[in-house]
Structure 1
Protein backbone atom coordinates (compact mmCIF):
# COMPACT_ATOMS: atom_id res chain seq x y z
CA UNK A 1 0.00 0.00 0.00
CA UNK A 2 1.43 3.34 -1.01
CA UNK A 3 2.08 5.77 1.85
CA UNK A 4 -0.29 8.70 2.07
CA UNK A 5 1.46 12.03 1.44
CA UNK A 6 -0.36 15.05 2.84
CA UNK A 7 2.20 17.44 1.39
CA UNK A 8 3.03 19.08 4.73
CA UNK A 9 6.69 19.40 3.79
CA UNK A 10 5.78 21.02 0.47
CA UNK A 11 3.56 23.47 2.32
CA UNK A 12 6.42 24.38 4.66
CA UNK A 13 8.71 24.96 1.67
CA UNK A 14 6.09 27.18 0.04
CA UNK A 15 5.67 29.19 3.25
CA UNK A 16 9.44 29.74 3.56
CA UNK A 17 9.71 30.82 -0.08
CA UNK A 18 6.79 33.20 0.35
CA UNK A 19 8.46 34.82 3.36
CA UNK A 20 11.73 35.15 1.47
CA UNK A 21 9.98 36.72 -1.50
CA UNK A 22 7.84 39.23 0.39
CA UNK A 23 9.45 39.97 3.77
CA UNK A 24 13.17 40.25 3.06
CA UNK A 25 13.40 43.90 4.25
CA UNK A 26 11.76 42.95 7.54
CA UNK A 27 14.14 39.99 7.95
CA UNK A 28 17.08 42.29 7.26
CA UNK A 29 15.85 44.66 9.95
CA UNK A 30 15.48 41.84 12.47
CA UNK A 31 18.97 40.58 11.60
CA UNK A 32 20.42 44.08 12.02
CA UNK A 33 18.82 44.53 15.45
CA UNK A 34 19.89 41.13 16.74
CA UNK A 35 23.33 41.58 15.21
CA UNK A 36 23.70 44.90 17.06
CA UNK A 37 22.98 43.20 20.39
CA UNK A 38 25.09 40.12 19.69
CA UNK A 39 28.07 41.99 18.27
CA UNK A 40 28.00 44.58 21.04
CA UNK A 41 28.08 42.00 23.81
CA UNK A 42 30.74 39.93 22.01
CA UNK A 43 32.99 42.93 21.38
CA UNK A 44 32.70 44.05 25.00
CA UNK A 45 33.52 40.60 26.41
CA UNK A 46 36.34 39.76 24.02
CA UNK A 47 37.93 43.19 24.59
CA UNK A 48 37.95 42.64 28.36
CA UNK A 49 41.42 41.55 29.56
CA UNK A 50 41.49 38.11 31.12
CA UNK A 51 42.60 39.35 34.60
CA UNK A 52 39.77 41.88 34.66
CA UNK A 53 37.24 39.24 33.61
CA UNK A 54 38.54 36.83 36.26
CA UNK A 55 38.25 39.51 38.94
CA UNK A 56 34.71 40.47 37.89
CA UNK A 57 33.49 36.86 37.85
CA UNK A 58 35.23 36.09 41.15
CA UNK A 59 33.56 39.08 42.83
CA UNK A 60 30.17 38.11 41.40
CA UNK A 61 30.61 34.52 42.58
CA UNK A 62 31.71 35.74 46.02
CA UNK A 63 28.74 38.08 46.31
CA UNK A 64 26.08 35.67 45.11
CA UNK A 65 27.30 32.25 46.28
CA UNK A 66 30.32 32.33 48.58
CA UNK A 67 34.09 32.29 48.81
CA UNK A 68 34.44 28.57 48.06
CA UNK A 69 32.55 28.93 44.80
CA UNK A 70 34.57 32.05 43.96
CA UNK A 71 37.78 30.02 44.27
CA UNK A 72 36.26 27.28 42.11
CA UNK A 73 35.20 29.83 39.50
CA UNK A 74 38.69 31.32 39.22
CA UNK A 75 40.31 27.86 39.05
CA UNK A 76 37.84 26.68 36.42
CA UNK A 77 38.32 29.76 34.27
CA UNK A 78 42.10 29.44 34.54
CA UNK A 79 41.68 25.86 33.33
CA UNK A 80 39.78 27.11 30.27
CA UNK A 81 42.49 29.68 29.63
CA UNK A 82 45.14 26.99 29.98
CA UNK A 83 43.42 24.96 27.26
CA UNK A 84 43.61 27.96 24.93
CA UNK A 85 39.83 28.35 24.80
CA UNK A 86 39.38 31.65 26.62
CA UNK A 87 38.39 33.68 23.58
CA UNK A 88 36.01 31.02 22.31
CA UNK A 89 34.50 30.75 25.78
CA UNK A 90 33.83 34.50 25.80
CA UNK A 91 32.26 34.24 22.34
CA UNK A 92 29.95 31.49 23.60
CA UNK A 93 29.11 33.53 26.70
CA UNK A 94 28.24 36.52 24.51
CA UNK A 95 25.88 34.40 22.41
CA UNK A 96 24.23 32.97 25.53
CA UNK A 97 23.79 36.42 27.06
CA UNK A 98 22.42 37.91 23.83
CA UNK A 99 19.96 35.05 23.34
CA UNK A 100 18.90 35.17 26.99
CA UNK A 101 18.33 38.95 26.93
CA UNK A 102 16.16 38.66 23.82
CA UNK A 103 14.29 35.64 25.22
CA UNK A 104 13.58 37.49 28.47
CA UNK A 105 12.49 40.65 26.63
CA UNK A 106 9.95 38.60 24.67
CA UNK A 107 9.19 35.81 27.12
CA UNK A 108 8.43 37.68 30.34
CA UNK A 109 5.81 40.01 28.80
CA UNK A 110 4.30 37.03 26.98
CA UNK A 111 4.14 35.07 30.23
CA UNK A 112 2.45 38.01 31.93
CA UNK A 113 -0.05 38.26 29.08
CA UNK A 114 -0.77 34.53 29.38
CA UNK A 115 -1.36 34.87 33.12
CA UNK A 116 -3.81 37.74 32.60
CA UNK A 117 -5.67 36.44 29.55
CA UNK A 118 -7.05 32.97 28.97
CA UNK A 119 -7.27 33.68 25.23
CA UNK A 120 -3.56 34.49 25.00
CA UNK A 121 -2.74 31.34 26.94
CA UNK A 122 -4.93 29.23 24.66
CA UNK A 123 -3.08 30.50 21.59
CA UNK A 124 0.43 30.51 23.10
CA UNK A 125 0.46 27.08 24.74
CA UNK A 126 0.41 25.03 21.50
CA UNK A 127 3.16 27.25 20.08
CA UNK A 128 5.28 26.74 23.20
CA UNK A 129 4.68 22.98 23.03
CA UNK A 130 5.89 22.99 19.43
CA UNK A 131 8.95 25.07 20.29
CA UNK A 132 9.93 22.73 23.13
CA UNK A 133 9.37 19.43 21.36
CA UNK A 134 10.79 20.26 17.93
CA UNK A 135 14.31 18.76 17.56
CA UNK A 136 16.93 21.46 18.04
CA UNK A 137 18.62 20.79 14.71
CA UNK A 138 15.40 21.64 12.84
CA UNK A 139 15.64 25.28 13.94
CA UNK A 140 18.95 25.64 12.09
CA UNK A 141 17.32 25.17 8.68
CA UNK A 142 14.93 28.17 8.59
CA UNK A 143 17.41 30.30 10.56
CA UNK A 144 20.08 29.70 7.92
CA UNK A 145 17.62 30.21 5.04
CA UNK A 146 16.22 33.47 6.41
CA UNK A 147 19.38 34.99 7.88
CA UNK A 148 22.34 33.22 6.27
CA UNK A 149 25.27 31.92 8.30
CA UNK A 150 26.92 33.38 11.39
CA UNK A 151 26.10 34.51 14.91
CA UNK A 152 22.74 36.13 14.04
CA UNK A 153 20.93 33.00 12.80
CA UNK A 154 22.55 31.06 15.65
CA UNK A 155 21.16 33.56 18.15
CA UNK A 156 17.69 33.47 16.58
CA UNK A 157 17.57 29.66 16.63
CA UNK A 158 18.74 29.74 20.24
CA UNK A 159 16.05 32.23 21.26
CA UNK A 160 13.29 30.09 19.74
CA UNK A 161 14.63 26.93 21.37
CA UNK A 162 15.32 28.43 24.81
CA UNK A 163 12.43 30.86 25.34
CA UNK A 164 9.56 28.52 26.43
CA UNK A 165 10.74 27.96 30.05
CA UNK A 166 10.79 31.65 30.93
CA UNK A 167 7.34 32.11 29.35
CA UNK A 168 5.81 29.12 31.13
CA UNK A 169 7.32 29.85 34.54
CA UNK A 170 6.46 33.54 34.39
CA UNK A 171 2.86 32.57 33.65
CA UNK A 172 2.88 29.95 36.43
CA UNK A 173 4.50 32.24 38.98
CA UNK A 174 2.00 35.07 38.47
CA UNK A 175 -0.97 32.70 38.52
CA UNK A 176 0.24 31.18 41.81
CA UNK A 177 0.48 34.49 43.68
CA UNK A 178 -1.77 34.12 46.73
CA UNK A 179 -5.20 35.65 46.36
CA UNK A 180 -4.74 37.37 49.74
CA UNK A 181 -1.84 39.42 48.36
CA UNK A 182 -3.90 40.50 45.37
CA UNK A 183 -6.87 41.36 47.57
CA UNK A 184 -4.62 43.41 49.85
CA UNK A 185 -3.21 45.29 46.87
CA UNK A 186 -6.67 46.05 45.56
CA UNK A 187 -7.78 47.15 49.03
CA UNK A 188 -4.96 49.68 49.09
CA UNK A 189 -6.13 51.06 45.75
CA UNK A 190 -3.53 49.57 43.40
CA UNK A 191 -4.12 50.08 39.71
CA UNK A 192 -3.68 46.99 37.48
CA UNK A 193 -0.14 48.09 36.56
CA UNK A 194 0.76 48.79 40.21
CA UNK A 195 -0.69 45.43 41.23
CA UNK A 196 1.47 43.73 38.61
CA UNK A 197 4.70 45.59 39.39
CA UNK A 198 4.42 45.82 43.18
CA UNK A 199 2.57 42.64 44.12
CA UNK A 200 2.50 39.95 41.45
CA UNK A 201 5.98 40.18 39.93
CA UNK A 202 7.83 40.44 43.30
CA UNK A 203 5.98 37.39 44.62
CA UNK A 204 6.47 35.49 41.35
CA UNK A 205 10.17 36.38 41.13
CA UNK A 206 11.50 32.97 42.31
CA UNK A 207 9.49 31.23 39.60
CA UNK A 208 10.53 33.80 36.97
CA UNK A 209 14.20 33.42 37.92
CA UNK A 210 13.88 29.64 37.67
CA UNK A 211 12.58 30.12 34.13
CA UNK A 212 15.48 32.46 33.31
CA UNK A 213 17.92 29.89 34.70
CA UNK A 214 16.46 27.16 32.48
CA UNK A 215 16.53 29.51 29.49
CA UNK A 216 20.23 30.18 30.07
CA UNK A 217 21.00 26.46 30.28
CA UNK A 218 19.04 25.73 27.09
CA UNK A 219 20.74 28.65 25.37
CA UNK A 220 24.14 27.23 26.24
CA UNK A 221 23.22 23.83 24.85
CA UNK A 222 21.80 25.36 21.67
CA UNK A 223 24.70 27.69 20.86
CA UNK A 224 26.94 24.62 20.71
CA UNK A 225 24.61 23.08 18.12
CA UNK A 226 24.38 26.44 16.33
CA UNK A 227 28.09 26.23 15.53
CA UNK A 228 26.94 24.12 12.56
CA UNK A 229 25.67 27.33 10.93
CA UNK A 230 28.65 29.46 11.89
CA UNK A 231 27.70 30.72 15.36
CA UNK A 232 31.28 30.21 16.56
CA UNK A 233 32.51 29.86 20.12
CA UNK A 234 33.11 26.61 21.95
CA UNK A 235 30.73 24.87 19.57
CA UNK A 236 33.39 25.17 16.88
CA UNK A 237 35.84 23.29 19.09
CA UNK A 238 33.34 20.49 19.72
CA UNK A 239 32.38 20.39 16.04
CA UNK A 240 36.04 20.20 14.99
CA UNK A 241 36.55 17.27 17.35
CA UNK A 242 33.59 15.46 15.81
CA UNK A 243 34.63 16.12 12.23
CA UNK A 244 38.21 14.97 12.81
CA UNK A 245 37.34 12.23 15.31
CA UNK A 246 39.73 14.03 17.65
CA UNK A 247 38.78 12.91 21.15
CA UNK A 248 41.12 15.35 22.87
CA UNK A 249 39.81 18.43 21.09
CA UNK A 250 36.20 17.39 21.59
CA UNK A 251 36.80 16.66 25.28
CA UNK A 252 38.42 20.05 25.87
CA UNK A 253 35.53 21.85 24.18
CA UNK A 254 32.97 19.82 26.09
CA UNK A 255 34.77 20.40 29.41
CA UNK A 256 34.80 24.16 28.79
CA UNK A 257 31.05 24.07 28.07
CA UNK A 258 30.43 22.15 31.32
CA UNK A 259 32.48 24.66 33.34
CA UNK A 260 30.60 27.59 31.83
CA UNK A 261 27.28 25.85 32.48
CA UNK A 262 28.12 25.27 36.15
CA UNK A 263 29.14 28.90 36.66
CA UNK A 264 26.04 30.29 34.96
CA UNK A 265 23.73 27.84 36.72
CA UNK A 266 24.96 28.51 40.26
CA UNK A 267 25.08 32.28 39.86
CA UNK A 268 21.65 32.64 38.24
CA UNK A 269 20.07 30.25 40.73
CA UNK A 270 21.19 32.51 43.56
CA UNK A 271 19.12 35.42 42.23
CA UNK A 272 15.93 33.41 42.65
CA UNK A 273 16.60 32.46 46.27
CA UNK A 274 15.49 34.93 48.90
CA UNK A 275 18.27 36.02 51.22
CA UNK A 276 20.83 34.12 49.19
CA UNK A 277 24.20 35.64 48.59
CA UNK A 278 27.43 36.13 50.43
CA UNK A 279 27.87 39.41 52.25
CA UNK A 280 31.31 40.96 52.08
CA UNK A 281 31.08 42.08 55.68
CA UNK A 282 31.17 38.41 56.66
CA UNK A 283 34.84 38.47 55.71
CA UNK A 284 35.46 40.89 58.52
CA UNK A 285 33.01 39.52 61.08
CA UNK A 286 34.57 39.41 64.50
CA UNK A 287 37.53 41.60 63.52
CA UNK A 288 38.53 44.89 65.00
Structure 2
Protein backbone atom coordinates (compact mmCIF):
# COMPACT_ATOMS: atom_id res chain seq x y z
CA UNK A 1 0.00 0.00 0.00
CA UNK A 2 1.74 3.15 -1.22
CA UNK A 3 -0.38 6.31 -1.41
CA UNK A 4 2.35 8.96 -1.19
CA UNK A 5 6.08 9.18 -0.64
CA UNK A 6 7.31 10.24 2.81
CA UNK A 7 11.12 10.52 2.72
CA UNK A 8 11.51 10.31 6.50
CA UNK A 9 14.86 8.52 6.24
CA UNK A 10 16.32 11.23 4.00
CA UNK A 11 14.94 14.04 6.17
CA UNK A 12 16.37 12.49 9.33
CA UNK A 13 19.80 11.88 7.83
CA UNK A 14 19.91 15.39 6.38
CA UNK A 15 19.01 16.88 9.74
CA UNK A 16 21.60 14.84 11.64
CA UNK A 17 24.46 15.05 9.13
CA UNK A 18 23.71 18.50 7.76
CA UNK A 19 22.84 20.46 10.91
CA UNK A 20 22.86 18.59 14.24
CA UNK A 21 26.39 17.19 14.28
CA UNK A 22 28.13 20.18 12.57
CA UNK A 23 26.29 22.70 14.76
CA UNK A 24 26.10 20.96 18.14
CA UNK A 25 28.98 18.50 17.87
CA UNK A 26 31.14 20.49 20.28
CA UNK A 27 28.31 20.71 22.79
CA UNK A 28 27.79 16.94 22.72
CA UNK A 29 31.54 16.43 23.11
CA UNK A 30 31.46 18.48 26.33
CA UNK A 31 28.50 16.45 27.62
CA UNK A 32 30.35 13.26 26.71
CA UNK A 33 33.43 14.42 28.59
CA UNK A 34 31.43 15.31 31.71
CA UNK A 35 29.47 12.05 31.79
CA UNK A 36 32.63 10.07 31.05
CA UNK A 37 34.38 11.74 33.97
CA UNK A 38 31.44 10.90 36.27
CA UNK A 39 31.40 7.25 35.12
CA UNK A 40 35.17 6.96 35.65
CA UNK A 41 34.81 8.46 39.13
CA UNK A 42 32.09 6.02 40.19
CA UNK A 43 33.93 3.06 38.64
CA UNK A 44 37.10 4.07 40.47
CA UNK A 45 35.20 4.26 43.76
CA UNK A 46 33.84 0.76 43.20
CA UNK A 47 37.12 -0.78 42.06
CA UNK A 48 39.89 1.15 43.87
CA UNK A 49 39.01 -0.28 47.27
CA UNK A 50 39.47 -3.95 48.16
CA UNK A 51 36.54 -6.09 46.96
CA UNK A 52 36.08 -7.36 50.50
CA UNK A 53 35.42 -3.83 51.78
CA UNK A 54 32.91 -3.07 49.01
CA UNK A 55 31.22 -6.42 49.65
CA UNK A 56 30.90 -5.71 53.38
CA UNK A 57 29.34 -2.30 52.68
CA UNK A 58 26.84 -3.83 50.24
CA UNK A 59 25.95 -6.59 52.70
CA UNK A 60 25.39 -4.08 55.52
CA UNK A 61 23.13 -1.99 53.28
CA UNK A 62 21.18 -5.10 52.29
CA UNK A 63 20.82 -6.15 55.95
CA UNK A 64 19.66 -2.69 57.06
CA UNK A 65 17.09 -2.06 54.34
CA UNK A 66 16.02 -5.52 53.16
CA UNK A 67 16.53 -7.84 56.10
CA UNK A 68 18.52 -10.90 57.06
CA UNK A 69 17.48 -13.19 54.22
CA UNK A 70 18.45 -10.68 51.53
CA UNK A 71 21.76 -10.08 53.32
CA UNK A 72 22.46 -13.83 53.23
CA UNK A 73 21.64 -13.94 49.51
CA UNK A 74 23.90 -10.92 49.01
CA UNK A 75 26.78 -12.76 50.66
CA UNK A 76 26.23 -15.78 48.40
CA UNK A 77 25.81 -13.62 45.29
CA UNK A 78 28.94 -11.55 45.93
CA UNK A 79 30.92 -14.72 46.65
CA UNK A 80 29.76 -15.98 43.25
CA UNK A 81 30.98 -12.80 41.53
CA UNK A 82 34.39 -13.27 43.11
CA UNK A 83 34.63 -17.02 42.62
CA UNK A 84 34.11 -16.79 38.83
CA UNK A 85 36.41 -13.74 38.59
CA UNK A 86 33.88 -11.23 37.27
CA UNK A 87 34.01 -8.75 40.16
CA UNK A 88 35.54 -5.99 38.02
CA UNK A 89 32.93 -6.47 35.29
CA UNK A 90 30.14 -6.43 37.89
CA UNK A 91 31.41 -3.14 39.32
CA UNK A 92 31.62 -1.65 35.80
CA UNK A 93 28.00 -2.62 35.15
CA UNK A 94 26.97 -1.31 38.57
CA UNK A 95 28.70 2.01 37.79
CA UNK A 96 26.81 2.47 34.51
CA UNK A 97 23.51 1.54 36.17
CA UNK A 98 24.24 3.87 39.08
CA UNK A 99 25.06 6.86 36.86
CA UNK A 100 22.07 6.26 34.56
CA UNK A 101 19.77 5.90 37.58
CA UNK A 102 21.07 9.14 39.12
CA UNK A 103 20.34 11.00 35.87
CA UNK A 104 16.90 9.37 35.64
CA UNK A 105 16.04 10.47 39.19
CA UNK A 106 17.38 14.01 38.77
CA UNK A 107 15.40 14.49 35.55
CA UNK A 108 12.45 12.16 36.07
CA UNK A 109 11.28 13.15 39.56
CA UNK A 110 10.98 16.92 38.84
CA UNK A 111 9.20 16.18 35.55
CA UNK A 112 6.84 13.84 37.42
CA UNK A 113 6.10 16.58 39.95
CA UNK A 114 5.41 19.12 37.19
CA UNK A 115 3.13 16.71 35.35
CA UNK A 116 1.20 16.05 38.56
CA UNK A 117 0.79 19.77 39.21
CA UNK A 118 -0.03 20.94 35.68
CA UNK A 119 -2.58 19.05 33.59
CA UNK A 120 -1.47 20.65 30.31
CA UNK A 121 2.14 19.62 30.88
CA UNK A 122 0.94 16.12 31.78
CA UNK A 123 -0.91 15.84 28.46
CA UNK A 124 2.25 16.93 26.63
CA UNK A 125 4.70 14.66 28.45
CA UNK A 126 2.57 11.50 28.43
CA UNK A 127 2.91 10.68 24.71
CA UNK A 128 6.64 11.42 24.94
CA UNK A 129 6.94 8.85 27.72
CA UNK A 130 4.93 6.37 25.66
CA UNK A 131 7.33 6.94 22.77
CA UNK A 132 10.38 6.44 25.00
CA UNK A 133 9.01 3.20 26.44
CA UNK A 134 7.73 1.60 23.24
CA UNK A 135 10.52 2.52 20.81
CA UNK A 136 12.78 -0.56 20.46
CA UNK A 137 15.80 -0.15 22.68
CA UNK A 138 18.18 -0.92 19.80
CA UNK A 139 17.02 2.28 18.09
CA UNK A 140 18.49 4.36 20.93
CA UNK A 141 21.94 3.03 20.12
CA UNK A 142 22.16 4.69 16.69
CA UNK A 143 21.93 8.37 17.79
CA UNK A 144 23.93 7.54 20.92
CA UNK A 145 26.84 6.32 18.78
CA UNK A 146 26.61 9.27 16.38
CA UNK A 147 26.56 11.90 19.12
CA UNK A 148 28.71 10.33 21.85
CA UNK A 149 30.88 7.70 20.19
CA UNK A 150 31.49 4.27 21.71
CA UNK A 151 31.89 3.19 25.34
CA UNK A 152 30.18 3.88 28.61
CA UNK A 153 28.85 7.36 27.79
CA UNK A 154 26.44 6.37 24.98
CA UNK A 155 25.46 3.37 27.10
CA UNK A 156 24.46 5.71 29.94
CA UNK A 157 22.56 8.00 27.55
CA UNK A 158 20.65 5.12 25.94
CA UNK A 159 19.94 3.56 29.34
CA UNK A 160 18.77 6.92 30.71
CA UNK A 161 16.27 7.37 27.87
CA UNK A 162 14.98 3.82 28.23
CA UNK A 163 14.75 3.79 32.04
CA UNK A 164 13.49 7.29 32.91
CA UNK A 165 9.73 6.95 32.14
CA UNK A 166 8.91 4.84 35.26
CA UNK A 167 10.46 7.50 37.50
CA UNK A 168 8.28 10.16 35.87
CA UNK A 169 5.08 8.11 35.90
CA UNK A 170 5.40 6.85 39.48
CA UNK A 171 6.28 10.30 40.81
CA UNK A 172 3.19 11.67 39.06
CA UNK A 173 1.08 8.87 40.52
CA UNK A 174 2.50 9.30 44.02
CA UNK A 175 1.72 13.03 44.10
CA UNK A 176 -1.79 12.50 42.77
CA UNK A 177 -2.51 9.74 45.30
CA UNK A 178 -1.99 12.03 48.30
CA UNK A 179 -5.43 12.18 49.97
CA UNK A 180 -7.39 15.34 49.16
CA UNK A 181 -8.33 15.88 52.81
CA UNK A 182 -4.64 15.99 53.76
CA UNK A 183 -4.00 18.62 51.09
CA UNK A 184 -7.02 20.63 52.24
CA UNK A 185 -5.84 20.45 55.85
CA UNK A 186 -2.41 21.76 54.85
CA UNK A 187 -4.04 24.64 52.97
CA UNK A 188 -6.23 25.36 55.99
CA UNK A 189 -3.15 25.71 58.19
CA UNK A 190 -1.71 28.24 55.75
CA UNK A 191 0.83 26.09 53.92
CA UNK A 192 2.25 27.61 50.76
CA UNK A 193 2.50 25.59 47.55
CA UNK A 194 6.19 24.94 48.22
CA UNK A 195 5.53 23.84 51.81
CA UNK A 196 2.67 21.63 50.65
CA UNK A 197 4.93 19.90 48.15
CA UNK A 198 8.03 19.51 50.31
CA UNK A 199 6.42 18.75 53.68
CA UNK A 200 3.21 16.93 52.75
CA UNK A 201 2.99 15.56 49.22
CA UNK A 202 6.55 14.38 48.64
CA UNK A 203 6.93 12.60 52.02
CA UNK A 204 3.64 10.75 51.45
CA UNK A 205 4.57 9.95 47.85
CA UNK A 206 8.06 8.61 48.60
CA UNK A 207 7.02 4.91 48.70
CA UNK A 208 5.47 5.21 45.25
CA UNK A 209 8.46 7.19 43.98
CA UNK A 210 10.77 4.47 45.31
CA UNK A 211 8.74 1.90 43.38
CA UNK A 212 9.41 3.93 40.24
CA UNK A 213 13.12 4.11 41.04
CA UNK A 214 13.10 0.34 41.53
CA UNK A 215 11.64 -0.11 38.04
CA UNK A 216 14.19 2.35 36.65
CA UNK A 217 17.06 0.31 38.09
CA UNK A 218 15.66 -2.93 36.70
CA UNK A 219 15.26 -1.41 33.24
CA UNK A 220 18.78 -0.01 33.42
CA UNK A 221 20.15 -3.47 34.20
CA UNK A 222 18.13 -4.97 31.37
CA UNK A 223 20.04 -2.66 29.01
CA UNK A 224 23.41 -4.07 30.11
CA UNK A 225 23.72 -6.60 27.29
CA UNK A 226 22.29 -4.26 24.65
CA UNK A 227 24.61 -1.44 25.74
CA UNK A 228 27.60 -3.77 25.39
CA UNK A 229 26.99 -3.70 21.62
CA UNK A 230 28.23 -0.09 21.59
CA UNK A 231 31.30 -0.76 23.69
CA UNK A 232 29.92 -0.52 27.23
CA UNK A 233 32.14 -2.47 29.62
CA UNK A 234 30.85 -4.88 32.23
CA UNK A 235 28.85 -8.06 32.47
CA UNK A 236 26.98 -7.38 29.25
CA UNK A 237 30.24 -7.61 27.32
CA UNK A 238 30.78 -11.10 28.73
CA UNK A 239 27.34 -12.19 27.57
CA UNK A 240 27.92 -10.61 24.16
CA UNK A 241 31.30 -12.36 23.88
CA UNK A 242 29.62 -15.64 24.77
CA UNK A 243 27.02 -15.09 22.05
CA UNK A 244 29.65 -14.13 19.46
CA UNK A 245 31.82 -17.17 20.17
CA UNK A 246 28.93 -19.55 20.94
CA UNK A 247 30.49 -19.99 24.38
CA UNK A 248 27.59 -21.08 26.57
CA UNK A 249 29.68 -21.07 29.73
CA UNK A 250 30.87 -17.49 29.34
CA UNK A 251 27.35 -16.32 28.56
CA UNK A 252 26.00 -18.12 31.63
CA UNK A 253 28.68 -16.67 33.90
CA UNK A 254 27.91 -13.10 32.78
CA UNK A 255 24.15 -13.65 32.74
CA UNK A 256 24.10 -15.00 36.30
CA UNK A 257 26.18 -12.00 37.37
CA UNK A 258 23.50 -9.67 36.00
CA UNK A 259 20.83 -11.71 37.80
CA UNK A 260 22.72 -11.42 41.09
CA UNK A 261 23.02 -7.65 40.78
CA UNK A 262 19.38 -7.33 39.73
CA UNK A 263 18.05 -9.31 42.71
CA UNK A 264 20.22 -7.44 45.22
CA UNK A 265 19.29 -4.00 43.86
CA UNK A 266 15.62 -4.96 43.56
CA UNK A 267 15.32 -6.20 47.14
CA UNK A 268 17.29 -3.29 48.62
CA UNK A 269 15.22 -0.62 46.83
CA UNK A 270 12.01 -2.44 47.74
CA UNK A 271 13.14 -2.53 51.36
CA UNK A 272 14.02 1.16 51.26
CA UNK A 273 10.54 1.94 49.92
CA UNK A 274 8.92 -0.08 52.72
CA UNK A 275 11.00 1.68 55.35
CA UNK A 276 9.92 5.06 53.97
CA UNK A 277 6.30 3.88 54.02
CA UNK A 278 6.59 2.86 57.68
CA UNK A 279 8.16 6.19 58.59
CA UNK A 280 5.41 8.14 56.80
Q: Per the shorter chain, which TM-score range?
A: over 0.9
In the alignment, is the contact (CA less than 8 A) between 1:114 and 1:124 conserved in 2? yes
Cross-structure match for 1:138: 139
Separation of aligned partners in 2, 1:229 and 1:195: 44
Superposition map of 1:34-49 within 5 A: 34-49=35-50
In structure 1, the residue matched to 2:168 is 167
Aligned length: 277
1:50 positional shift:
0.9
Unaligned segments of structure 1, at least 5 residues: 278-288
Aligned to 2:158: 157
Residue 204 of structure 2 is matched in structure 1 by: 203
5 Å matches for 1:54-73? 54-73=55-74
Q: Distance in 2 between matches of 1:224 and 1:3?
A: 40
Residues 64 and 276 in structure 1, CA contact (< 8 A), matched pair in contact too: no
Deviations 1:74-125 (A, max 9, x none): 1111111111100000000000000000010000000001011112112111
- TM-score (ref. length: structure 2): 0.95
Normalising by structure 1, report the TM-score.
Answer: 0.93
Query: Cα RMSD over matched residues?
Result: 1.5
Map of 1:228 onto structure 2 = 229
Match of 2:7 in 1: 7
Mapped partners of 1:208, 1:112: distance in 2: 10
CA contact (8 A) 1:31 1:147 kept: yes
Gaps of 5+ in 2: none
* Distance of 1:72 and 1:189 partners within structure 2: 49
1:206-285 map, 5 Å: 206-274=207-275
Tell me which stretches of 4 or more aligned residues in structure 1 moved more than 6 Å.
none
More off after superposition, 39-48 vs 248-257: 39-48
Question: What residue number does 1:93 align with?
Answer: 94
Whether the aligned pair in 2 keeps the contact of 1:155 and 1:223 (CA below 8 Å) is no
Segment of structure 1 superposing worse, 265-274 or 138-147: 265-274
Please say if residues 270 and 276 of structure 1, whose CA atoms lie closer than 8 Å, have aligned partners that are also in contact. Answer: no
Q: Return the alpha-carbon distance in structure 2 between the equivalents of residues 255 and 121 of structure 1.
A: 39
Q: CA separation in 1, counterparts of 2:229 and 2:4? A: 33
Tell me how far 1:275 sits from its aligned partner.
6.5
Deviation at 1:33, TM superposition (A): 2.2
